[in-house]
Amino acid sequence: MDQLFDQENWDRVQAVANSFGPAGKFLLQSGRVLVGEGKLVKQSRKKRQAKAFFLFNDVLVYGSIVLNGRWHKKLKVIPLEDILLEDLEDGVRMKNQWLIRTPRKSFYVSAASYEEKRAWIEHIEECKGRVTQGSDRRLDFANTWIPDQASAVCMRCSSKFTRTHRRHHCRKCGFLVCGPCSRKRAVIAHIDSTKQLRVCKTCYLSLGVEVPELTRQRWDSGGKSDEDELECYSEEEEAEHSLEEEDPGRWMDSWSPYVYINPEHIRPQT
């Protein structure tokens, strides 16, 4: 029976890996067990998107849907020990929702039903408990980004967003801010210890970075600093402003329910 389980599990893991193309090779690791899979709606910065989620005994994986149930892209892998779940009440736009927090990124997801929501949360917590058993590791978690449609004005200076006065996100607080309010860059170790990220001036000051008096005066008066004269965007920031490709409405009619697969720790007895 164990041998049959191992083969069936390997076939399932390989099918998930193959659906992500070459990027999926990472998933083919010895001892990895597919626990469950299904579709959840993820709140992105521009709109909600249907994503395929896969729970393994050690990681949570998700990606964009190209061909329903067969082909995925943009593989994201989160170690279970890096996850903190927060249960939430139903929102106006998102029902059966909860928050997935990680050091690098935090985001809202929702299930098709309350029962599926509870199944996801319970199984993630159960698998995480086995991975972190005996560990007292403490983590800093990223704040969730405020969706673009949540504010028409900068959440720091209240200036109105336009086609030229664009929205940005502070990587520390997640607020929607304008360019002049988010010129500064700082390392946020739990998100990326090697890269300086866009932060709003409030968070920049909270990090204890010394700011020249002249720059402070320009901030207070709404003027530009020397580095404000040239607007320069990284590839990541340019991607922020591109339209998302997936529309959850495309998938609602063919919504596949959460599938719970007997994981290794509850194998059928021989």
- CATH number of the domain where residue 200 is located: 3.30.40
C-alpha span between 181 and 167 (Å, rounded): 10
Q: Taking 50 as the threshold, does the pLDDT of residue 63 lie above it?
A: yes
What share of residues in the chain are helix, strand, coil (percent, to 5)? 30, 25, 45
- Specify if 162 maps to a domain: no
- Predicted pLDDT of residue 102: 92
Whether residues 258 and 125 fall in one domain: yes
Whether residues 41 and 96 fall in one domain: yes
CB 60 within 8 Å of CB 124: yes
Whether residues 221 and 256 fall in one domain: no
- Specify if 157 maps to a domain: no
Whether residues 110 and 215 fall in one domain: no
CB 112 within 8 Å of CB 95: no
- Specify if 154 maps to a domain: no
Range of the domain at 205: 167-240
Q: Taking 80 as the threshold, does the pLDDT of residue 234 lie above it?
A: no
- Specify if 127 maps to a domain: yes
Region 72-94: mean pLDDT is: 91
Q: Taking 60 as the threshold, does the pLDDT of residue 231 lie above it?
A: no
Residue 72's pLDDT band (boundaries 50, 70, 90)? very high
Helix (H, G, I), strand (E, B) or coil at 102: coil
Whether residues 54 and 138 fall in one domain: yes
C-alpha span between 118 and 111 (Å, rounded): 9
Whether residues 215 and 250 fall in one domain: no
Helix (H, G, I), strand (E, B) or coil at 205: helix
Residue 268's pLDDT band (boundaries 50, 70, 90)? very low
Q: Taking 80 as the threshold, does the pLDDT of residue 232 lie above it?
A: no
Whether residues 43 and 89 fall in one domain: yes
Task: Report residue 82 as tokens.
Answer: 């890096």
- Predicted pLDDT of residue 48: 87
Region 144-167: mean pLDDT is: 87
CB 58 within 8 Å of CB 49: no
Residues 6+ apart with CB under 8 A from 181: 154, 156, 157, 200, 201
- Predicted pLDDT of residue 60: 97
Q: What is the total count of domains within the chain?
A: 2
Whether residues 135 and 182 fall in one domain: no
- Specify if 121 maps to a domain: yes
> Which of 40, 59, 60 has its CA nearest to residue 51?
40
- Predicted pLDDT of residue 256: 60
- Specify if 184 maps to a domain: yes
Residue 264's pLDDT band (boundaries 50, 70, 90)? very low
Whether residues 97 and 204 fall in one domain: no
Place of tokens 């194998």: 267
Q: Taking 70 as the threshold, does the pLDDT of residue 239 lie above it?
A: no
- Specify if 210 maps to a domain: yes
> Which CATH number goes with the domain that contains 104?
2.30.29.30
Residue 122's pLDDT band (boundaries 50, 70, 90)? very high
Whether residues 135 and 204 fall in one domain: no
pTM above 0.75, yes or no: no
Whether residues 83 and 202 fall in one domain: no
CB 225 within 8 Å of CB 215: yes
- Specify if 156 maps to a domain: no
Whether residues 68 and 119 fall in one domain: yes
